[in-house]
Amino acid sequence: MSSNTMHPPRALAWIVRLALLIAAVAIAYLALAPVDLGGRGGNVDHAIAFVTLGFLSRLAFPRWYMIVLLALLALFGGAIEVLQGTMHAGRDMQMVDFKIDVAAALVGLVVGALVNRMLGGWRAGD
């Protein structure tokens, strides 16, 4: 083990991954629930949600290529938009929301990578 690389306990890696899963489920619910049942929306909400997902994704899977994580987050955001357009729950599919999701996910991924570097490049699951 190199002296300049911090290796967290396996439990910490799984806590970060669990936080990512919980965030994804919560975001999907808030994005797909009818507005009268607590659903949320708006550009700021989209940005906060996908910065969070990007950040947690980078920390949860630091070995994965960033483009792969971004593609997965874009698919998640795209799926939400398609479902919003087809569920008839008072939601609309909007391209601007998708663009915000992807841009915010990229910001979160970059911030996550910077935090990972500040932590000494720890690897989840090592």
pLDDT value at position 87? Answer: 80
Residue 40: predicted pLDDT: 60
Predicted confidence pLDDT, tens digits, the chain (126 residues): 444 454 556 677 789 999 999 999 999 988 888 776 655 667 888 899 999 999 999 999 988 999 999 999 999 999 999 998 888 767 777 899 999 999 999 999 999 999 888 877 666 544
Using a 10 angstrom Cβ sphere, with 0-12 exposed, 13-18 middle and 19 or more buried, the burial of residue 44 is: exposed
